[in-house]
Amino acid sequence: MATQIVPQVVSFPAPQAAPITQFELAAVLSLRNRARQLEAQIGDAEKSVRTRLEAGVSVEVGEHTASLKESFRRNVGWRDVAERLAERLYGEGRGEAYCGNVLGNTAPTRTVSLTIL
């Protein structure tokens, strides 16, 4: 006669986690507020440095450097729509030339970023 082995499932009670205290919640809120304050201070400090660099003030010689990187971008977000319209108005293959003309006559957007190393 064969013996049959029947597996048994034993469940263990889940350990009780400690309740979340008011102190922990207050600490999270306090840290969030502090992070917002620090973000504001960083923004003010960067604005001050950027303004002075734009005015031509030099950076003290030392371990760190600061510079402004200026870039210009021409962005025609509706380019696909304009190409389709140009092809409808001016014929097949003319959409690219029309959009190139529009892009060439679009004033570039100036972006200045502060780099501190």
Which parts of the chain have pLDDT scores under 70?
1-3, 6-7, 9-10, 12, 74-79, 93-95
| pLDDT the model gives residue 95 | 67
| pLDDT the model gives residue 76 | 61
Dihedral over Cα of 93, 94, 95, 100: its sign = positive
| pLDDT the model gives residue 103 | 72
Domains in the chain: boundaries: 23-58, 60-117
In the chain, helix, strand, coil percent, each to 5? 45, 15, 40
| pLDDT the model gives residue 84 | 76
| pLDDT the model gives residue 75 | 65
- Secondary structure (3-state) at 1: coil
| pLDDT the model gives residue 27 | 95
Stated pTM of the model: 0.54
